[in-house]
Amino acid sequence: MPNPWEEISLDDYEKHMSLDSVRQLQALDSIMKEQFAAYPVETSAVLGVAGGNGLEHIATDKFRTVYGIDINADYLSAVSQRYTELSGVLKCLRIDLINEAEKLPQAQLLIANLLIEYIGYGAFQRAVLQTAPEFVSCVIQINTDEEQWVSESLYLRAFDRLDEVHHQMEEKALTAAMEEIGYSVILQESFSLPNGKALVRLDFQKKG
């Protein structure tokens, strides 16, 4: 059976994420602007790039290569069409992060926003080790309501199968998982959302 993310239309996903009652697309856009600017790097990999929200903040005079990685080929096709101005810098790769981590390219900065929830800490550790970045910047969603972790909306049915792959996230557990593979936390920020949810940004740097 295909991964649930291969069956969710980009239109449903983006409309849900940008609703006033959700506002995650807007929050992630501003966070990604900071993520791309934060560190002295010229290569980056964005795991779970979806439709490319936030990629407009890639400075082509700074970045030599940015990899946009997703399991959904339709999402990657949309990204390529939307960001033609990044031609030569942006490279889209279809990779199943749970089963194909060995295909990941190396990059100095790894960005993973609302992604770890769907692959789990172990698969994320493998992705980080394969990518071997100096810096890792993640955003996780913290839920006050564990029963209803997808916000209520007209598009809720599109996400029915995500329960199969969803993992509840905790800052301490992610920090411990990163410590295990040699990364120390260097930044922690929280962003409040509607519906009692919050986005937490955690940045890590390779030790030594």
88: exposed, middle or buried (C-beta count within 10 Å: 0-12, 13-18, 19+)?
A: exposed
How far is residue 174's CA from residue 138's CA, in Å, rounded to a whole number? Answer: 10
pTM for the predicted model, two decimal places:
0.90
Q: Give the residue with greater pLDDT, 21 vs 138.
A: 138
CATH number for the segment(s) 4-206 = 3.40.50.150
CA-CA distances (angstroms) from residue 116 to 11, 56, 90, 170? 22, 23, 22, 11
Range of weakest confidence among 47-51, 69-73, 140-144, 160-164:
160-164
The three-state DSSP-derived secondary structure of the chain is: CCCHHHCCCHHHHHHHHHCCCCCHHHHHHHHHHHHHHCCCCCEEEEECCCCCCCHHHCCCCCCCEEEEEECCHHHHHHHHHHCHHHCCCEEEEECCCCCCHHHCCCCCEEEEECCHHHCHHHHHHHHHHHHCCCEEEEEEEECCCCCCCCCCCCCHHHHHHHHHCCCCCCHHHHHHHHHHCCEEEEEEEEEECHHHCEEEEEEEEECC
Query: Mean pLDDT across the stretch 22-36?
Result: 89
User: Which pLDDT value is given to residue 161?
Assistant: 66
Contact 177, 119 (CB under 8 A): no
Residue 183 carries which side chain, given as an amino acid letter? Y
Q: Give the residue with greater pLDDT, 152 vs 120.
A: 120
Quote the percentage of the chain above a pLDDT of 70.
89
User: Which pLDDT value is given to residue 198?
Assistant: 86
Would you list the domain boundaries of the chain?
A: 4-206
The string of pLDDT tens digits covering residues 176-191 is: 999 999 999 999 999 9
Tokens of 207: 């030790």
Say if residue 145's pLDDT is above 60.
no
With cut-offs at 50, 70 and 90, classify the pLDDT of residue 193: confident
Q: Give the residue with greater pLDDT, 149 vs 131.
A: 131
